[in-house]
Amino acid sequence: MNELQKRISQIGVVPVIKLNNPQRDAKPLADALCAGGVPVAEVTFRAAGAAEAIRIMTESHPEMMVGAGTVLTTQQVDETIAAGGKFVVTPGLDIEIVQYCQQKGITVFPGCTTPTDYHAAFKLGLEVLKFFPAEQSGGLAKIKAMAAPFPMFQVMPTGGVGLKNLGEYAACPVICACGGSYMVTADLIDNGKWDEITDLCKKSVEIVKEARK
């Protein structure tokens, strides 16, 4: 794993964020995440202004690892890089986007859930894959089964992961980190519940720490 991947793995969780009002919410959200011991964020392109949110979060907290999620085009990769983003996450395995990220020197985590995906990722020289949607695709049982023929990968499951099952996932040695939106829901963000976000981040970090003992 590269240095960024190692740092993400040490934290163990990656908040997956949809920001509808980046000018209002990006900085206080970054404050809340860092206060909770989670200086990492995947800002999805499912909402307009994702690049602006990445820029604001990165400028306000240079120590944060802020990246883009739901990246579907090479143009969005360019927007991510221009905004200071550190990584790209795609919902599926798009070989063109992966190779474009590699050419641009930005870390990419493509969504992979099948042996065909994993095999293609192996040929692309990847080390860490997003497993999405995790629970709906077979969850931890499938991740463990896939690790048998593909032991070279670390995995970031996203989709259906929350406080109740975070520990189970985090205890698995092939898990790099778990992505989730439970600590950054629309209700929490839109209503400015920054202290609650910080508390959920602290709980998440503690669960990961306990699970990895």
Angstrom distance (rounded) from CA 181 to CA 174: 21
Is 42 catalytic? The answer is yes
- Report pLDDT digits (tens) over 149-172: 999 999 999 999 999 999 999 999
What is the rounded CA–CA span in Å between residue 50 and residue 154?
27
The Cα 17–Cα 38 span in angstroms is 13
**Assigned token pair, 176:** 């790099």
Q: Catalytic pick from 79, 86, 130, 135?
A: 130
pTM: predicted TM-score of the whole model, two decimal places: 0.96
What mean pLDDT is predicted for residues 166-187?
98
Tokens of residue 45, six digits = 């392109």
Catalytic site includes residue 210: no
pLDDT band per the 50, 70, 90 thresholds, residue 204: very high
Question: What is the model's pLDDT at position 173?
Answer: 97
Which band of pLDDT confidence, cut at 50, 70 and 90, is reported for residue 192? very high
The pLDDT-based confidence of 49 (bands split at 50, 70, 90) is very high
CATH for 3-208, options being 3.20.20.70, 3.20.10.10, 3.40.50.300, 3.30.450.30: 3.20.20.70
Is residue 85 within 8 Å of 54, Cβ to Cβ? yes
DSSP string, 11-32: H-EEEEE--S-HHHHHHHHHHH
Q: Which of 42, 79, 86, 135 is catalytic?
A: 42
Let me know: does 120 contact 93? Beta carbons within 8 Å.
yes
pLDDT value at residue 168: 98
